[in-house]
Copies of this chain bind each other. A is one copy, B any other.
Amino acid sequence: MKKIKLCYIGGGSKMWARVFMSDLAIQEFFDGELALYDIDIKAAKRNQKIGNYINENPKTKSKFDYVVYEKLEDALKNSDFVVISILPGTFEEMRSDVHTPEKYGIYQSVGDTVGPGGVLRAMRTVPIYENFASAIKKICPDAWVINLTNPMTILTKTLYDVFPEIKAFGCCHEVFHTEQLFCRMLKELRGIDGLTRKDLSVDVAGINHFTWISKAYYKDMNLMPLINEFIAKYGKDGYYEEGNDIYAFKHDPFAYGNNVKFDLYERYGILAAAGDRHLAEFCQNSWYLKNPEMVKKYHFNLTTVDYRINDQKEKIKDTILMSEGKKEFEVIKSQEELVDLIAAILGFKEIISNVNLPNVGQVYGLPLGSVVETNAIFTNNLVKPVCQTKLPLNVLNLVNRNALNIETCYEGIKKRNLDIIFSSFINQPLCSNLTIEEGKKLFKEMCYNTKDYLKDFFNLDEYFK
């Protein structure tokens, strides 16, 4: 078995870490060390214990050394792969990101990618990533770096801007759901059952959480015409990913009926490929997020931070029990693809999946060098983006506005220039309803709400005096 060292920054994760460790354990291609690094060292140590239990599990095929490091540099040393998945700030900062704008009539279904919440989260996280990129450049420049943190686009950009030779890419599974939706269509409309996303091929282009599928095939069957049929049949009440409980959105804050996606398809002719909660945030707020009633009408939800906090508490409780051996959990292959991608890069498979990388030509019309999401080939130490079909002009316009907002936001953060950041903030589609005065007020309020994480990088008092 191939020996490698994996470094996991954010290794104190409450949930995703044990999924990852299970996936590592269940495969047979490689083993070695999993270096856990987290500013919450206790949490990292709990995951270490869980890892050790996994090693004892009979289903485990690859045992790893689970090692907790206190210093980033030590964790990175000799790493072949670095996985970064962190929460910038606490849920209290996220509460401000998501809910402060509501006072100004801005509702966010997620609040971590674009919109006012996305900008503030970027302001907290980009400086941290600047530091990661510098450390990787110094300590393990040849390592593959896999970013899982949101906001995906700007953070992947940060890694490449600080260290242009970095072998980094961003992973996100949002596109998977839309591919699975095509599988559902094949089942519901054509009676073809048992397919997975791997049986289909799509042309997908855009930026993370706002990608668009312009071609989709199952063998030589064009899947695009199925969408109209599907909307005719299910569009009214919405179609839910798992089961078709049309009331799902009433109790599950992550559920959505795909009506945003369907509306965009009917207007633009190609299929937006992310969850509706994400898609809505890239559009001006009068379209899908004008108010909670409109959100309901489109069959999706505003996920509250209170919900996340309670959910997190449950996960921590579980983690503690598991780390103390008081609660069992199954060592089982998850739906996640990360371990497969690592195996592919090590040369054990060839995978075609979506990826976030700087644009070198794979998406026509978006700026070269901006981070875009498309398919890529993962294989033998290479991750190569695939050229995609040109986006229609009207869709390109929607995507490009957000892409340039993100580039602007990055420029502002890099230069520690709040004027430039504000120009990105006020131009967010979700801020369409704000007067400039309101925009300035809201920006100030959000900055001060999260100042503990900003003050080292931005001179708030001087700017807002």
Residues of A114-146 whose CB lies within 8 A of B: none
Residues of A336-387 whose CB lies within 8 A of B: 345-348, 350, 352, 360-362, 364-365, 367, 375, 377, 379-382, 384-387
The answer to whether A405 has its CB under 8 Å from any CB of chain B is: yes
Contact of A347 with B219 in the complex, beta carbons under 8 Å: yes
CB distance from A343 to the nearest CB of B (A): 10
Bound form: Cα–Cα A377–B385 in Å: 11
Bound form: Cα–Cα A348–B269 in Å: 28
The answer to whether A411 has its CB under 8 Å from any CB of chain B is: yes
The answer to whether A459 has its CB under 8 Å from any CB of chain B is: no
Bound form: Cα–Cα A44–B50 in Å: 69
Contact of A217 with B407 in the complex, beta carbons under 8 Å: no
Within the oligomer, what is the number of copies of this chain? 4
Bound form: Cα–Cα A286–B429 in Å: 12
Contact of B347 with A203 in the complex, beta carbons under 8 Å: no
The residues of B that contact A335 with a CB separation of less than 8 Å are none
Contact of A387 with B388 in the complex, beta carbons under 8 Å: no
Bound form: Cα–Cα A396–B403 in Å: 12
Contact of B436 with A287 in the complex, beta carbons under 8 Å: yes
Contact pattern, A 391-432, Cβ under 8 Å of B = 1, otherwise 0: 001101110110011011001000000011011101100001
Bound form: Cα–Cα A218–B397 in Å: 37
Closest to A216 in B: B380
Residues on A lying within 8 angstroms of B by beta carbon are 2, 80, 200-201, 203, 215, 217-222, 263, 267-269, 284, 286-287, 290, 294, 345-348, 350, 352, 360-362, 364-365, 367, 375, 377, 379-382, 384-388, 390, 393-394, 396-398, 400-401, 404-405, 407-408, 411, 419-420, 422-424, 426-427, 432-436
